[in-house]
Amino acid sequence: MKLWEGRFSKPSAKSLEEFNDSLPFDCKLWRADIKGSLAHVKMLGECGVIAKDEAEKITAGLESIYADIDEGKLELCGAEDIHSFVENELVARVGDAGKKLHTARSRNDQVATDFRIYVLDAYENLTRNLKNLVGSLVVMAERGVKYVMPGYTHLRKAQPMCAGHFFNAYSEMFLRDLERAAECAERCAVLPLGSGALAGTSYPIDRQLTARYLGFNSPCENSLDGVSDRDFVAEFLFVCSLIMAHLSRLCEDIILYSTEEFGYFEISDEYSTGSSIMPQKKNPDIPELMRGKTGRVYGHLMAILTCIKAVPLAYNKDLQEDKEGLFDAEKQVNSCLSVMAEMLPNITLKTERMQKAAESEFCCATDVADYLAKRGLPFRDAHATTGKIVRWCIENKRTLQNMKPEDYKKFSPLFDEDICKVVRAKACADARTSFGGAAQSSVKRNIKSIKKRVAKY
């Protein structure tokens, strides 16, 4: 039965139903829909809009529907959308009392409420998975804390750093995602219910009460905005998109560092794939697939932004398009987060190779310049002198590590014997003790702080 068939003299065309119905996908909102209705009917009873015994009947009916769907006894089909489905089922179960559930409510404020309830749950799942991932990154940071690796800029070796610094950088990104999710969830917890179709209602309802029953922060302040606002969908998709951006960068680094050319990481066999023709291959399909899924999640963000950009106030059917992208993004992001959290601790750090790489290609050159600057040479001049040393090394096939103190002294009288100790990768990394720097001591402090901050969520 259609909720609106009274005005119509002919039944809907089959094609209209196929095109218009949302039950095939909004059935995912069944829990949220029943929760919303339970709060609404409790408030209606409390405010005397419907009789207490009617409210009780409706409540019992809704609870029995919830239990039946939960146990798989009730198939979600045969209605236009989840809201119609639940209401039809309610009337079938409790009779005329059920017809009062929709008092002081419209499907417009109902669907906006249901979807917010759903998204708030989705934030909880994201938060759990993000925390888990940060846990794995901390495991890796602790594993890497004793070792050095090269840090890069422009994908050229730049400066040695404690290997834990690399993993901590990603923890910081995901901590920001956790914070962002929490902030967006606060804005999502503003209740549209009671906005009616668009203009509110003449019944003596108490929207604060409904908000409290549902654990929302407050009712929305403007009914017209309440039924048409889908910012919370765009925000959720933005949160997902940025998580995917961070994951994708991590994937790219993992792929790169596990190549034969870099050889800093080895992904264990359980999380690698092979080739049907090249027997020697061990491929990083997991991070590649994740990097690929990033585009798909960005696409969902772009879709909702485009969908809402020209929708006149208030509700228009365009807004039914808000759901499928979010459902897919949520699914993709959660699976990426959990697979990454699982795969990470199964990466072996090839510490010797990392250490060697951190001492090659003049990774320690900044420290030579700093050495001179600390002995009184203005940094710009120290930079130029070190540049000459590097050029001399290249021309004479030497390295900063196999230069003798005498070789250094030819470039400046400020050099002493101790310069040879300065150009070791571990020494260079561990000298960077500034707050947030790449020294082992700073990285340890960073790990402690990450653990403390992630525990807040």
Task: State yes or no: is 275 an active-site residue.
Answer: yes
Residue 12 beta carbon to ligand ARG: minimum distance, rounded to whole angstroms: 13
DSSP string, 324-379: HHHHHHHHHHHHHHHHHHHHGGGEEE-HHHHHHHHHSTTTTHHHHHHHHHHTT--H
Residue 93 beta carbon to ligand ARG: minimum distance, rounded to whole angstroms: 22
Residue 57 beta carbon to ligand ARG: minimum distance, rounded to whole angstroms: 25
Exactly one of 15, 154, 202, 276 is catalytic; name it: 154
- Percent helix, percent strand, percent coil in the chain, to nearest 5: 65, 5, 30
Exactly one of 218, 268, 275, 441 is catalytic; name it: 275
Task: State yes or no: is 102 an active-site residue.
Answer: no
Helices (H), 28-106: 30-46, 52-70, 82-94
Instruction: Assess contact for 171 and 450: CB atoms under 8 A.
Output: yes
In terms of CB distance, is 111 or 450 closer to ligand ARG?
111
In terms of CB distance, is 101 or 343 closer to ligand ARG?
101
Pairing of strands 190-191, 218-219: parallel
In terms of CB distance, is 84 or 168 closer to ligand ARG?
84
DSSP reduced 3-state for 156: strand
Residue 154 beta carbon to ligand ARG: minimum distance, rounded to whole angstroms: 48
- The span from the CA of 101 to the CA of 61, in Å, is 11
Single out the residue of 169, 71, 185 nearest to residue 128, CA to CA. 185
Residues making contact with ligand ARG (CB under 6 A): 22, 26, 81, 107-108, 111, 315, 319-320
Single out the residue of 152, 144, 81, 138 nearest to residue 323, CA to CA. 81
Instruction: Assess contact for 76 and 69: CB atoms under 8 A.
Output: yes
Residue 451 beta carbon to ligand ARG: minimum distance, rounded to whole angstroms: 42
In terms of CB distance, is 233 or 372 closer to ligand ARG?
233
Residue 80 beta carbon to ligand ARG: minimum distance, rounded to whole angstroms: 7
In terms of CB distance, is 57 or 107 closer to ligand ARG?
107
**C-alpha distance from residue 172 to each of 133, 167, 243, 251, 388 (Å):** 11, 9, 12, 16, 38
In terms of CB distance, is 107 or 157 closer to ligand ARG?
107
DSSP reduced 3-state for 444: helix
Residues near 71 by beta carbon (within 8 Å), at least 6 away in sequence: none
Catalytically active residues are 154, 275
